[in-house]
Amino acid sequence: MTTEAEQDRVRERIAAELEAVRRRSEGLTVHALEDEELLSQHSPLMSPLVWDYAHVGNYEEQWLLRAAAGREALRPDIDVLYDAFENARADRVELPLLRPEEARAYNARVRRGVLDSLERVPLEEGAGLGAGGFVYNMVIQHEHQHDETMLATHQLRTGDPVLPDGAPDAPDAVPPGPEEVLVPAGPFTMGTTADPWAYDNERPAHTVHLPAYRIGARPVSNAEHMAFIDAGGYDDPRWWTGEGWNWRRERGAAAPAFWFRDGGRWMRRRFGRIEPVPAEEPVQHVSFHEAQAHARWAGARLPTEAEWEKAARWDPATGRSRRFPWGEEDPDERHANLGQRRLRPSAAGAFPEGASPLGVRQLIGDVWEWTSTVFHGYPGFTAFPYREYSEVFFDDGYRVLRGGSWATDPTATRGTFRNWDHPVRRQIFSGFRLARDAAPDEGGVGA
């Protein structure tokens, strides 16, 4: 039974997180750009920034005012405009969207109603959408996920920089460590049943048995991907699947997105700034196809989603799965690079305090990591609270990404969190790490 004091603590956190995420959203939209740029479409892959901004408010109205609090609709006339399934991204610029100041006023009106009703929405166990604060947590994460999408739009935008440089104050100290880690054979608990922040696709918890395997102790770095390029990896069909090779030829891809050569040096464009590609950072802005080709060239493969999660969560000392690689504690600056603090990845191998019990680093933050797994529901999956969040994407060729990036907010990352996208996507902050089958005499049987 959830006590009133526990519910009050949940409400306090909800109010604080709602304020924080809106401050972040407005820092990427109405406080960053003039109306013309907010209303423009910077890439057919992305929505106009003002669409994302009003969409998060409309989503909040539908779930926190109408569904959770039972309030009357404020603006039912705009629901269709901000329905992601009714309007393809490339078409949203043609819609009669709310202008930035109208969107800001609408979002503020919604938020006032949400905070006013928060005290009256039950949050105890068995309270449906409100149980444990679920529906509020869903809406908070949804807005943070759109903020990350908006950062991808900023990356695709041309023009003068409007975001801070984000450079670290000092180079990352990366202590030495193994290149890869052996994960012993045996079962582990994948997914979750009890986490109040978890989406339906993370549920339910279930046991998965895996043979022994090896996984990279850190993500693949820019320097390592430069070696793949220099070895002719983008020009050699041996390393690519048929689908991947067709994509590479059609796209003319010869390096990660936003990279270009300047003489003998690799450069990149990052939020309107031109800079040398830092050799020590994890490679980002690579598609699933590029990640898979690099892995084959390196005599390895991409990990499965289950392999990634076992390496991140399984504790051999207890046989249990943790919420985060380092334990149950929420992430902070010791553990991971999250929440757009740096606007770039940290050095590959950083954050030793964020390592998993097996010694695998950077499983949370810095770059989303492609896995070889096609997105689907777990055994016993039940759509909640609506099919369109997860279920409609199952088995349609989407590949799972894990771990979160430097742009992901801490509330939207954990060891069970699942992201997914088309294997051709590169505007997202995606990288990868390598895995290999263990030798027959390695691994034994895990706890």
Burial bucket for residue 336 (CB in 10 Å: 0-12, 13-18, 19+) = buried
CA dist., res. 426 & res. 251, Å (int): 11
Question: Of the candidates 318, 306, 316, 328, which has an alpha carbon nearest to the alpha carbon of residue 207?
Answer: 306
CA dist., res. 399 & res. 386, Å (int): 21
pTM score above 0.75: yes
**What is the model's pLDDT at position 177?**
77
CA dist., res. 348 & res. 410, Å (int): 19
Could you give the domains of the chain?
4-156 (1.20.120.450), 167-447 (3.90.1580.10)
Average pLDDT over residues 290-298: 98
**What is the model's pLDDT at position 396?**
79
User: For 131-176, what is each residue's pLDDT tens digit?
Assistant: 899 999 999 999 999 999 999 999 999 989 999 998 665 546 677 7
Which pairing describes strands 368-374 and 430-431: parallel, antiparallel, or unpaired? parallel
Q: How many CA atoms lie within 13 A of 245 on its CB side?
A: 9
DSSP codes, 72-141: PPS-GGGTTTT-TTTS-GGGGGGS-PPPHHHHHHHHHHHHHHHHHHHTTS--STT-GGGGGGHHHHHHHH
Q: Percentage of residues in the chain with pLDDT exceeding 90?
A: 90
Residue 273: is its pLDDT beyond 60?
yes
- Which two three-digit tokens encode residue 174? 């990366």
Tokens 């680093």 belong to 361
Tokens 């309030």 belong to 71
CA dist., res. 213 & res. 437, Å (int): 5
Query: Coil, strand, or helix at residue 194?
Result: coil
Residues 6+ apart with CB under 8 A from 6: none
Confidence of residue 284 (pLDDT cuts 50, 70, 90): very high
**What is the model's pLDDT at position 11?**
95
What is the average pLDDT score of the chain? 95
Confidence of residue 118 (pLDDT cuts 50, 70, 90): very high
Confirm if 287 and 399 have CB atoms less than 8 A apart. Answer: no
User: For 167-202, what is each residue's pLDDT tens digit?
Assistant: 665 546 677 778 999 999 999 999 999 999 999 999
CA dist., res. 380 & res. 201, Å (int): 10
Residue 223: is its pLDDT beyond 60?
yes
**What is the model's pLDDT at position 168?**
61
Three-state helix/strand/coil letters over 218-251: CCCEHHHHHHHHHCCHHHCHHHCCHHHHHHHHHH
**What is the model's pLDDT at position 128?**
86
Q: Percentage of residues in the chain with pLDDT exceeding 70?
A: 97
**What is the model's pLDDT at position 395?**
79
**What is the model's pLDDT at position 152?**
98
